[in-house]
Structure 1
Amino acid sequence: MRIKDHAAVVTGGASGLGAATARVLAEAGARVTVLDVNEDGARATAEAIGGLGLACDVTSAESVAAALAAATEAHGPARLCVNCAGVVAGGRVVGKEGAHDLAVFSRVIAINLIGTFNVMSQAAAAMVDLAPEDEHERGVIVNTASIAATEGQVGQAAYAASKGGVASLTLPAARDLARHGVRVMCIAPGLFETPMFESLPPDVYDALIKKTLHPHRLGRPEEFGRMVRALVENPMMNGSVVRLDGALRLEPR
């Protein structure tokens, strides 16, 4: 699907992968709405790319509906939806304090998995009513998993479970939406330069870099954005999870 002159919605767009994706899509000619629970961050990203920034809680059906309605009013119906909103929380199944905090586990699942489905399903519901374009396409949805979906490390039970759910959602969603001309893809990134890495000690940072074979560095957010663009523009990309990791394979610790 072409990107130029189409409306796009990007969640988690206040920083990191979401912000980079919003920039890449805007540079390709899309009218981008940036959604994030951090409203100031969403607006800052949007201002930098000439888009629209809105507050949105992806775990709330009402919040997502309101944000998508505002995006449609400003830019027209979105044919592109990219879900980058997510959180990380550590904790072993049984730690020093006992069983994993269920509230923490539930929050990670609610944001990363249920939030992704919430935005995807509501965006798709609007896409299916649009007129088809080339290849009978009405829209493209790209979700964000992680290589932790299949290689979750010690202390990543909640995060790995949430991203495993996002990855597993890809094929059935693509099958459900195929008759409507809506494609669904998923990217599973490795280690990328996002805000959560900024506070790491130098020795931990260097240890992480050593795990990525080639290129021998962390991924750059704009490289994630470029992968989103490639998936949107290639009509044969549907129903798959694409690793973006520099041949990284996570060890148990």
Structure 2
Amino acid sequence: MRRCGAALRLAIEGNIAVGKSTFVKLLGRTFPEWHLVTEPVAQWQKVQAPGTKEASSPQSFGNLLQMIYQEPSRWSYTFQTYSCMSRLKAQLEPLAERLLKTPEPVQVFERSVYSDRYVFAKNLFEAGHLNPLEWTIYQDWHTFLLQELGDRVALHGFLYLQAAPEKCLERLHRRARSEEKGVQLDYLQQLHAQHESWLVEKTTEVHFANLRSASVLVLDVNQDFERDAAVQDVLMTKVEAFVKMLRSEALPSCPNPHSGV
């Protein structure tokens, strides 16, 4: 049981180009008091060597996102290590002063350290891009860190944006991110299957008790919700109800300051 006023912590999960960034913006408009943490894609696109500045030579930087797409067997372990650490840093950030003053604070992360392992790293191993030794080492430090950090990185629930891989590919082509131009449908199908196994079918072996019991809200986003106000209203109503349910189950209510309790 968390203390009164503790933040409810959620993660948005879903396939590449499913609409997570659009969904984060929609959450921000609907629930402006919430703290939303976007995926650190920009960090992956320009990994900077320590002590260097913007004016340094091109060799001081690396587009790790592009590198993993171009040579997955060479860069998968490096990328998954860096992506997991960047997510971990985001989940460990202390609550902002503004959020501390909110009666019922909510933090929402765009993906998490859990999908990093149980979707992306797992899929790279099963596809042969992470060799068994790399996969063993990755899992060892991932388990150790998360067990040591405990509640500091625990999440109360997941918002799973679910859409057909074909729809994700259509959206991926529409946003035209240069690193993703070689992404094929079969890769999106693999990631879809990993998400389904973990969050819906619950057949993925997970190694953290709190994760096995975490609640999941499945949101069908096959419809293009970016400009459809009616669809947006339905999605936000479901999210609001899910958050209220989680708060009643996971966090104690704050006593009324005028009740004398």
**Structure with greater Cα Rg:** 2
Q: Which has the higher strand share?
A: 1
Higher relative contact order (CA 8 A, sep 6+): 2
Q: Which has the higher helix share?
A: 2
